[in-house]
Amino acid sequence: MERWNLADEKCYTMPSVLHAVALDTNRRAYARKTVKMTTPDNQENSRFSDVRRAARLSVAPMMDWTDRHCRYLHRLLSHQALLYTEMVTSPALVRGGALHLLDHSPEEHPVALQLGGSDPQELGAAAKIGAQAGYDEINLNCGCPSDRVQSGAFGAILMQSPDLVADCVAAMRAEVAVEVTVKCRIGVDEQEPRDILPVFLEKIQAVGCQRVTIHARKAWLKGLSPKENRDIPPLDYALVHEMKTAFPDLHISINGGIATLDAARAQLDQGLDGVMVGRAAYHQPSDILSEADAVIFGSGVPRNPFEVVEQMLPYIERELSKGARLHQISRHMLGLFAGRPGARAWRRMLSEGANRPSAGPDLVQQALAQVTRQAIAV
């Protein structure tokens, strides 16, 4: 079994583990749990079908972070934002049969699966598996600059091969009824973004891609780590807005450096179709997501993070009964009270106690008691 040991190379969309298990056996097991796929014909009858509207605000796919426990928490904070999985490689699904990577709760919808790969046929097969698992969108990663991702010839390196990306998108669309989208950078290395990005978008739009998320930075494939690639290359929001003008029929979301709801709303007010938020949504989920429904979508009321914690308790109990450990869930909750009185005690109690074999919902309640309730304004 091959593992991707990326250590400090945390990237928004890095490869998942490849599991060497029998593909035929897994497919038979998977077939027994397949759910009905949302298609354009049945969308109106689905409570989680309006993915395009949900894409006004989305949470970026982040490896080691946006797992199913994280997404369940985020859905409690926002009923309408679009959520993304960690990236799953197409070989993991098609060759490795790692179908457990597709596990998710019904409550997570609308939720998109991000795939990594560069073989059109294999991506088509992986997209089909993902759609059959019930995902509302299949996204192709053309943005991660990790060396390990480059060695697999996918991620940001695909910005150099727009024709191949178009072939991949076409193959994926041929296999699924749900929307196939792309997440990309504005360019890589010595490429001139204003020259190559329009060509890239034109190629994928020509094969039917109607929605794209653009990280408004170049990626340097050599010389910068994934962490540095999130911060050092300058942001070029203006170029993304130029692309919206040049491609008015293309649904364009912007990503990169957006850390507040006010900043997200400003991008929408300037004419973009959507905003994708990454680290801020993870580290300060209440600040970004608890008011998102009201501020971004114009409906709903702000979520009280105390109530969200209480709503997490039955989920925690259920997952622990299946063999999960508390820290696998509570680690995503550490930032819920960021910047508020008692937040440090909340984080410390969960960080120090959640790894204990006996840790459960009682520990979460004890940690919650450390936070000053009057400090929460909703």
pLDDT of residue 220: 85
pLDDT of residue 148: 60
pLDDT of residue 12: 34
- Candidates 144, 168, 184, 209; catalytic one: 144
Cα–Cα dist 129/225, whole Å: 32
Does residue 144 carry a catalytic annotation?
yes
pLDDT of residue 146: 67
Cα–Cα dist 360/256, whole Å: 36
The answer, yes or no, to whether the previous bond of 110 is cis (omega within 30 of 0) is yes
Q: In a structure prediction context, what are the per-residue pLDDT tens digits for the chain, which is 378 residues long?
A: 333 333 333 333 333 332 332 233 333 333 333 333 334 343 343 333 489 999 999 999 999 999 999 999 999 999 999 999 999 999 999 999 999 999 999 999 999 999 999 999 999 999 999 999 999 999 999 998 766 655 567 899 999 999 999 999 999 999 999 999 999 999 998 999 999 999 999 999 999 999 999 999 998 887 777 677 677 788 999 999 999 999 999 999 999 999 999 999 999 999 999 999 999 999 999 999 999 999 999 998 999 999 999 999 999 999 999 999 999 999 999 999 999 999 999 999 999 999 999 999 999 999 999 998 754 444
**SS3 of the chain: helix, strand, coil, percent, to 5:** 45, 15, 40
pTM attached to this predicted model: 0.86
Contacts of residue 248, defined as CB under 8 A and 6 or more positions apart, other chains included, come to none
Cα–Cα dist 268/375, whole Å: 30
pLDDT of residue 4: 35
pLDDT of residue 233: 82
pLDDT of residue 11: 38
pLDDT of residue 19: 31
pLDDT of residue 221: 80
pLDDT of residue 373: 79
Cα–Cα dist 116/126, whole Å: 10
Cα–Cα dist 328/103, whole Å: 15
Q: CB of 18 within 8 A of CB of 89?
A: yes
Q: Mapping DSSP to helix (H, G, I), strand (E, B) and coil, where does residue 349 land?
A: helix
The Cβ-side half-sphere exposure at 67, using a 13 Å CA radius, reads 13
User: Domains of the chain (ranges plus CATH)?
Assistant: 23-295 (3.20.20.70), 305-375 (1.20.120.1460)
pLDDT of residue 149: 57
pLDDT of residue 152: 64
pLDDT of residue 1: 31
Contacts of residue 5, defined as CB under 8 A and 6 or more positions apart, other chains included, come to none
CA-CA-CA-CA torsion sign (139, 145, 148, 152)? positive
Q: CB of 308 within 8 A of CB of 73?
A: yes
Q: CB of 63 within 8 A of CB of 87?
A: yes
